[in-house]
Amino acid sequence: MQDIESRLQGSFARQGLMTTMGATLRLVGPGLVEILVTPSPAISQQHGFVHGGAVSALADSAAGYAALSLVPAGRGVLTTEFKINFLAPAIGDRLVARARVVKGGQTLTLAQAEVFAVNGTQERLVALMTATMMSVEDRDGITD
Amino acid sequence: MQDIESRLQGSFARQGLMTTMGATLRLVGPGLVEILVTPSPAISQQHGFVHGGAVSALADSAAGYAALSLVPAGRGVLTTEFKINFLAPAIGDRLVARARVVKGGQTLTLAQAEVFAVNGTQERLVALMTATMMSVEDRDGITD
Amino acid sequence: MQDIESRLQGSFARQGLMTTMGATLRLVGPGLVEILVTPSPAISQQHGFVHGGAVSALADSAAGYAALSLVPAGRGVLTTEFKINFLAPAIGDRLVARARVVKGGQTLTLAQAEVFAVNGTQERLVALMTATMMSVEDRDGITD
Amino acid sequence: MQDIESRLQGSFARQGLMTTMGATLRLVGPGLVEILVTPSPAISQQHGFVHGGAVSALADSAAGYAALSLVPAGRGVLTTEFKINFLAPAIGDRLVARARVVKGGQTLTLAQAEVFAVNGTQERLVALMTATMMSVEDRDGITD
C-alpha cells in the first residue's frame, strides 16, 4: 500500500490543476481514493458555488487514482469518458470526492465517484460521477 | 444580441474558475458560444496535457452560456448533468470549446459542446460533451 | 406499500415492451425496485447475448418505477436521460435489474440501476445505469 | 460498400431484438447507418409512447453498425457505454435512428445517434445518444 500511495502522490503532485485548486489526495485502500478541497472564489461559478467543472475535476481525479491504484506500476490511466449528475449546490467548508473502482479490467476500468459538501459534521451529496478509465503503456510516455 | 452579450460577459466575469484558467468567452450567435483558453501547467494533468476536469469546465461553461443566451433575463441556468467523451490529448496553442443548444425548453435545455485543440491553423477534436441545463428563477438568488 | 405496489404493477402491465420481453416487476421497498427477465433469442443481439437495448430497457424501467414509488399518486415520471456502462456480456439463466433512488426532488429524481446476470446462485454485474427522471402532472394525460 | 452492406445486414438479421421490434437497417455511407421502426403497442411504455429502452435499442444498434461499417471484416464491436437524452415523446408514423461515427480508433470508436419521430413529412428529434464501441477480435467468437 505504501508503494502505491507514494506512486499516486507523486503523480498527483504533477497534476497542475489539483495544485491550482489546492486539492489533497488520500489513498483509502486498494481502488479507494479521496480528494479534498476547500471552496474559494478561485474555483467558483457565477453564483458563488464551486464550479461544476471544478467538482468534475475532483471527481475525475479521484476516479482516475482509484483506477491507477489497481494498475501495475509503469502503466498509466487516461479518462475516456465520464458522466456526472449535479444534485445540490457545491458549497461548504470542504468538498470531498470519494471514488471506488466498480470493475477493473485489462484495458478498461469503471469507477464511480461521489462528491460531498462537508459543513461541520454534516455531509451532503452534491454530485455523482461514473467514469471509464483506459490503461495505457508506452504511449506518449504515459506512466502513472 | 448586444444586451445578451453583455449579460453573458457579466456573468462569465463572475466565474472565478474561468478567471483562474484565463478563459475568454465569445457569443457567436443565439444559442452559440465559444470559450478559449491557452494551455498552461496551472491547468494540467500529470502527463502535461490539459486536465480532463479543465476541459470539462470549458465545455460546461460554454454549454451553460449557450443555454443562458436563450433564457429570459433575470433567470439563471444550472447544469443538472453532463457527459463527456475524451478523444485525444488536450494539447496545443489554444483550446476552444464550441457549444450550441440542441433543444431549449421551459425547464430543461439540452446543449452540446465540442472542444478542439488548435495548433496553428489545424484543429483537432479532443472532447465531446452533452449537457442538460435547468432554468431557475428566484432560487437562492440565482440570476444570469 | 400495498397501494404503491398495485399502482406500480398497474403501470408496469401497460408497458407493452416489458410484456414483450416477459419481464416481471417487484417492489422491494420505497424507492427500491427489481425487474426480472429470462434471456431468449427474442431479445438478443447478434452474438446471442441479451441486446444492450434490452438491458437498458430493464434498467430504465426499474429506475423509473423506483422513482415513481416515491412520487405522489396521480403524477407520472418520464426519463429525461440515462447513461449506462456495459461490463460483461448479458448471458445467464436470468437477468435482474435492481434500482434505487439516489436523490428525489420536486421536479427531478436521480436513480441508479445495476443489472446482474444470474447463473445458479452466482450473480455477475453486467451493466450500471444512472438515470434522471422528471415528475410530470397533467401533461399529455401522464399519470403513473 | 456492397460487401459492407451485406455484412451489416447479415449481422443485423441475427439481432433477435431488432426482429422482434420489426426494425430495418440501411447503410447510408461509410460510418453512416439508419434504422427504422414502426411504433406499436409491443414496444410501448405505459403512456403509449415508444419505450425509452426501445428508442435506446434503435439508437444503440444504429451506432454499433455505424462503427462496424468502418471496422475490418472478422472483427466485431461491442457497446461499452452510451448516454441518451430524451427530448420529446417517441410517437409518430415511424421512428428513424440516424447514427454517424464521430471518431474511429484502433480500440474504441465514438458514435452519435439521433432518433427522430416522423409524421408525414415532418421530423421531430426525440432522442440524442453518444456511444462508445469497442472493437474486439477472437473473443468469445465475436465477429461482425
Return the CATH number at D82: 3.10.129.10
Q: Which residues pair with C103 in a beta bridge?
A: C110
Per the model's pLDDT, the better-predicted residue between C27 and C144 turns out to be C27
The dihedral region occupied by C98, where left means phi > 0, alpha psi between -120 and 50, and beta the remainder, is beta
Give percent of chain C with pLDDT exceeding 90: 90
> Quick one: closest CA in C to A132, which residue?
C85
D99 assigned to some structural domain: yes
B10 assigned to some structural domain: yes
DSSP B18: H
Question: Are the C-beta atoms of C57 and D42 separated by less than 8 Å?
Answer: no
Q: How far apart are CA D125 and CA D144, in angstroms?
A: 29
Q: How far apart are CA D90 and CA D43, in angstroms?
A: 11
The dihedral region occupied by D48, where left means phi > 0, alpha psi between -120 and 50, and beta the remainder, is left
Give percent of chain D with pLDDT exceeding 70: 97
The dihedral formed by the CA atoms of A86, C85, D56 and C108, expressed in degrees to the nearest 10: -20
Residue C83 is nearest to which of B80, B83, B108, comparing CB atoms? B83
Q: What are phi and psi of A9, to 5 degrees?
A: -65, -35
Q: What's the rounded mean pLDDT across residues C102-118?
A: 96
pLDDT at C85: 98
Q: What's the rounded mean pLDDT across residues B49-65?
A: 98
For every residue of B59-108, DSSP letters joined together read HHHHHHHHHHTTSPTT-EEEEEEEEEEE-S---SSEEEEEEEEEE--SSE
Q: How far apart are CA A96 and CA A93, in angstroms?
A: 10
Residue with grid cell 448533468, as numbered in its chain: B81
- In this predicted model, what pLDDT tens digit does every residue of C57-98 receive, in sequence order? 999 999 999 999 999 988 999 999 999 999 999 999 999 999
Domain count, chain C: 1
Residue with grid cell 451489416, as numbered in its chain: D8
Interface test with B, best of A7, A12, A46 (most B CBs within 10 A): A46
* Interface residues of chain D, partner chain C, Cβ below 8 Å: 11-12, 14-20, 40-47, 51-54, 56-58, 60-61, 76, 78-86, 89, 140-142, 144
The cell for C44 is 438478443
Q: What's the rounded mean pLDDT across residues D87-103?
A: 97
DSSP D144: -
A66 assigned to some structural domain: yes
pLDDT at C141 over 90: no
User: pLDDT tens track of chain A, all 144 residues?
Assistant: 789 999 999 999 999 999 999 999 999 999 999 999 999 999 999 999 999 999 999 999 999 999 999 999 889 999 999 999 999 999 999 999 999 999 998 899 999 999 999 999 999 999 999 999 999 986 666 778
C141 assigned to some structural domain: no
D24 assigned to some structural domain: yes
pLDDT at B137 over 90: no
B141 assigned to some structural domain: no
Q: What's the rounded mean pLDDT across residues C33-47?
A: 97
Chain B closest CA to A64's CA: distance in Å?
11
pLDDT at C37 over 70: yes
Q: Locate all alpha helices (DSSP H) within chain C, ordered by sequence.
A: 2-13, 16-21, 52-68
Confidence of residue D137 (pLDDT cuts 50, 70, 90): confident
Residue A110 is nearest to which of C85, C103, C112, comparing CB atoms? C85
Q: Which residues pair with C101 in a beta bridge?
A: C111
The domain containing residue A28 runs over which residues? Answer: 2-136
> How many CB pairs lie under 8 A apart between chains A and C?
28
Using only C-alpha atoms, chain D has a radius of gyration, in whole angstroms, of: 15
The cell for B135 is 432554468
Confidence of residue D140 (pLDDT cuts 50, 70, 90): low
Amino acid at C39: P
Q: How far is CA B44 from each of CA B55, B120, C15, rounded to the nearest angstrom? A: 10, 21, 48
Q: How far is CA A138 from each of CA A5, A64, A141, B113, B116, rounded to the nearest angstrom? A: 22, 18, 5, 31, 25
Q: What's the rounded mean pLDDT across residues B90-103?
A: 98
C143 assigned to some structural domain: no
Per the model's pLDDT, the better-predicted residue between D130 and C137 turns out to be D130
Q: How far apart are CA D25 and CA D14, in angstroms?
A: 12
Q: How far apart are CA B122 and CA B49, in angstroms?
A: 18
Confidence of residue C140 (pLDDT cuts 50, 70, 90): low
- In this predicted model, what pLDDT tens digit does every residue of B102-119 receive, in sequence order? 999 889 999 999 999 999
pLDDT at D138 over 80: no
pTM confidence score:
0.96
Q: Which residues of B touch D113 (CB under 8 A)?
A: none
pLDDT at B97: 98
D143 assigned to some structural domain: no
Q: Write down which chains contact chain C via at least 3 CB pairs under 8 A.
A: A, B, D
pLDDT at C142: 76
CA A79 to chain centre: 11
